[in-house]
């Protein structure tokens, strides 16, 4: 693992988020009753919240073995998945929640996959990184180098409709999901390691993370995660 990967592995989550956001998104989903549900992401609050709200047996998928191990320690049913992998269910998932970042194959392809593994009448939460307004050239250049190419918020809505999905609601992650949910614990972890950083990988990793946090502080109104609540 790289220095940055090792640093992030110490955190509760590896991307911006919060228990409060997960609860609010779940509330916007409305009343849902399901036998089995799927969560793919990087935190442990969301699968617990899904289980509480739907009474479903929840399978959580994580792309890192250490997150699978931590989930199992907390009593969460968890499997290791490949990056961008969405496990299938024989009869289709009645409820699924996918915390994506950006989509290298494009949002339409991801929406098609979500629809294909969702049971008729089921509900899906699709999180993806979006531009909230027209980004500045500096923001676009940095964000697309750091995270991949986000979609515009409204474009995802159109693409979901084109795929035949109905949009129940959407929720924009607040700035605090980034600052309190990710960057504050990241800074704390960096402080513990920064003084001992003595090779190029560590120094460049710290510089890159500081740049990411500085960029968000300057341009947080231009991009964030958006949670789309979709139905078939």
Residue positions counted in the chain: 232
Tell me the C-alpha distance between 128 and 101, whole Å: 5
Global confidence as pTM? 0.95
Q: Please report the pLDDT score of residue 203 as a whole number.
A: 73
Q: Please report the pLDDT score of residue 1 as a whole number.
A: 53
Tell me the C-alpha distance between 36 and 221, whole Å: 37
Residue that the structure tokens 């997150």 belong to = 67
pLDDT digits (tens, 9 = 90+) for 16-51: 999 999 999 999 999 998 999 999 999 999 999 999
Q: Please report the pLDDT score of residue 199 as a whole number.
A: 67
CA quadruple 30, 33, 36, 41: dihedral, nearest 10 = 20
Closest CA to 100 of 130, 73, 121, 77: 130
Name the DSSP letter for residue 55. -
User: Strand, helix or coil at 40?
Assistant: strand
CA-to-CA dists, residue 90 to 29, 98, 113, 126, 176, angstroms? 23, 18, 14, 21, 38
Tell me the C-alpha distance between 178 and 213, whole Å: 9
Tell me the C-alpha distance between 64 and 66, whole Å: 6
Tell me the C-alpha distance between 103 and 107, whole Å: 6
Residue 191 is encoded by which pair of tokens? Answer: 């402080």
pLDDT digits (tens, 9 = 90+) for 69-122: 999 999 999 999 999 999 999 899 999 999 999 999 999 999 999 999 999 999
- What is the pLDDT of the chain when averaged over all its residues? 94
Tell me the C-alpha distance between 171 and 216, whole Å: 19
Q: Please report the pLDDT score of residue 4 as a whole number.
A: 77
pLDDT digits (tens, 9 = 90+) for 166-176: 999 999 999 99
């Amino acid at each position: 693992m790289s220095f940055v990967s090792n640093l992030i592995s110490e955190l509760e989550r590896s991307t911006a988020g919060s228990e409060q956001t997960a609860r609010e998104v779940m509330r916007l989903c409305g009343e849902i009753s399901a036998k089995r549900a799927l969560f793919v992401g990087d935190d442990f609050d969301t699968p617990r919240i899904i289980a509480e709200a739907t009474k479903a047996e929840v399978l959580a998928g994580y792309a890192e073995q250490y997150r699978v191990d931590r989930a199992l320690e907390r009593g969460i049913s968890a499997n290791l998945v490949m990056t961008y992998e969405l496990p299938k269910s024989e009869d289709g998932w009645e409820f699924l929640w996918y915390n994506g970042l950006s989509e290298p194959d494009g949002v339409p392809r991801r929406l098609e996959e979500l629809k294909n593994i969702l049971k008729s009448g089921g509900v899906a939460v699709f999180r993806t990184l979006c531009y909230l307004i027209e980004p500045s050239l500096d923001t676009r250049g940095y964000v697309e180098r750091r995270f991949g190419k986000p979609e515009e918020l409204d474009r995802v809505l159109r693409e979901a409709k084109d795929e035949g999905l109905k949009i129940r609601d959407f929720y924009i992650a607040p700035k605090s999901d980034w600052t309190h949910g990710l960057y504050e614990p990241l800074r704390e972890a960096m402080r513990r390691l920064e003084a001992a950083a003595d090779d190029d990988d560590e120094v460049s990793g710290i510089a890159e993370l500081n740049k990411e946090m500085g960029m968000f502080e300057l341009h947080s109104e231009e991009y964030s995660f958006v949670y789309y609540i979709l139905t078939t």
